[in-house]
Structure 1
Amino acid sequence: MSATRQQTADLTIQEMARRSGFAESTLRYYEKIGLLGPVARDESSGHRRYGPATADRVEALSCLRSAGMTVTGMRRYLDLLARGDSAAAEQRDLFAGQAEVLAADIEQLQLRLTYLRRKADLWDARVRGDAAAEKRAAEDVLHVMNSFRF
């Protein structure tokens, strides 16, 4: 159980949304498509109540989503988790594959950052009236642009 979650009370959808970072609509959607399993309801109001096991699952899904995993990937993770240790190699492959996807995303973000910095250099050179620096910066911008994947 998460150290940040109250151990005595189930969480409302608002509390679960705050803790997980998911929008309430995302929590409803994940419930609808079966990622969360059945979510308990308050007997008097019918409102969702996220018990400890469901809250743990939501938190795990939040971590996976923040690492860029798709709904399909999250579903695969849960299916493999249900199979236990017999699916350990498949779990390893799932996470290794997602790590490669994330590494490629980071590489592209680094290129975008470099592009923006080179563009700032270009405009800075123009502000200073340094034609040679502006020309170098323009060449650097073109070099970075040729590295982008479109």
Structure 2
Amino acid sequence: MPGATREHAVGLTIQEMARRSGFTEPTLRYYEKIGLLGTVARDKASGHRRYEPATVERVEALSCLRSSGVTVSGMRRYLDLLARGDSAAGDLRDLFAAQAERLAADIEQLQLRLAYLRGKADMWDARVRGDTAAENRAVEEITHLLQQFSH
């Protein structure tokens, strides 16, 4: 193909797909095995996997979902809904909205953990400096933060 890049001429190798997506090679093989990737083309000469543009797009979408905390079953649901087309638009909206809420809750917990770590650093810094008042303030803040952690 004149002007075609190597990627579009023969597809990405599994190593290239792993680097591009952030998934490990075993994860890509597993996702193929359980049907998340559809049929992955094979090089006729070697039999090695070759990820063609449509599969690359699917893997990249799954990578975005996974990095947002979507489970394998959630990815499967997404692909099933996507295959239904526009009739599934409401269900897709609900799927993404629910995941966004879960992610927001995770971020809130991470912000609490960050504040806790900073508070502990402040407490130990105050102790190093011999500032008892600052150390007591830090301990109060840490105690308040600990009460906010979900169990």
TM-score, structure 1 as length reference: 0.94
Q: Once the 2 structures are TM-superposed, how far is the Cα of residue 7 of structure 1 from its aligned partner?
A: 2.9
CA distance in 2, matches of 1:31, 1:6: 20
In structure 2, the residue matched to 1:60 is 61
CA distance in 1, matches of 2:136, 2:71: 42
Look up the equivalent residue of 2:19 and give its one-letter code. Answer: R
> Which ranges in structure 2 are unaligned for 5 or more consecutive residues?
1-5
| 61-70 or 6-15, which deviates more | 6-15
| 1:94 match: secondary structure | helix
Q: Once the 2 structures are TM-superposed, how far is the Cα of residue 48 of structure 1 from its aligned partner?
A: 0.5
In structure 2, the residue matched to 1:46 is 47
Is contact 2:68–2:103 with CA below 8 Å preserved after alignment? yes
The number of equivalent residue pairs is 147
| 1:6 match: secondary structure | helix
CA distance in 1, matches of 2:10, 2:143: 57
Q: Once the 2 structures are TM-superposed, how far is the Cα of residue 40 of structure 1 from its aligned partner?
A: 1.0
CA distance in 1, matches of 2:21, 2:46: 23
Dislocated runs of 4+, deviation >4 Å: none
CA distance in 1, matches of 2:133, 2:16: 57
CA distance in 1, matches of 2:135, 2:52: 60
Q: Deviations over 1:37-64 (max 9, x none)?
A: 1111111111111111111100110111
Q: Once the 2 structures are TM-superposed, how far is the Cα of residue 9 of structure 1 from its aligned partner?
A: 3.0
Look up the equivalent residue of 1:52 and give its one-letter code. Answer: P
> Which ranges in structure 1 are unaligned for 5 or more consecutive residues?
none
Q: Deviations over 1:118-141 (max 9, x none)?
A: 001100110110111111111111
Look up the equivalent residue of 1:28 and give its one-letter code. Answer: R
CA distance in 2, matches of 1:121, 1:29: 45
Q: Deviations over 1:58-105 (max 9, x none)?
A: 011011111111111100000000000000000000000000000000
| 2:148 match: secondary structure | coil
CA distance in 2, matches of 1:43, 1:111: 53
Q: CA RMSD in A?
A: 1.4
In structure 2, the residue matched to 1:96 is 97
CA distance in 1, matches of 2:86, 2:95: 14
Identity %: 75
In structure 1, the residue matched to 2:81 is 80
Q: Once the 2 structures are TM-superposed, how far is the Cα of residue 110 of structure 1 from its aligned partner?
A: 0.2
Look up the equivalent residue of 1:50 and give its one-letter code. Answer: Y
Check if 1:17 corresponds to 2:15: no
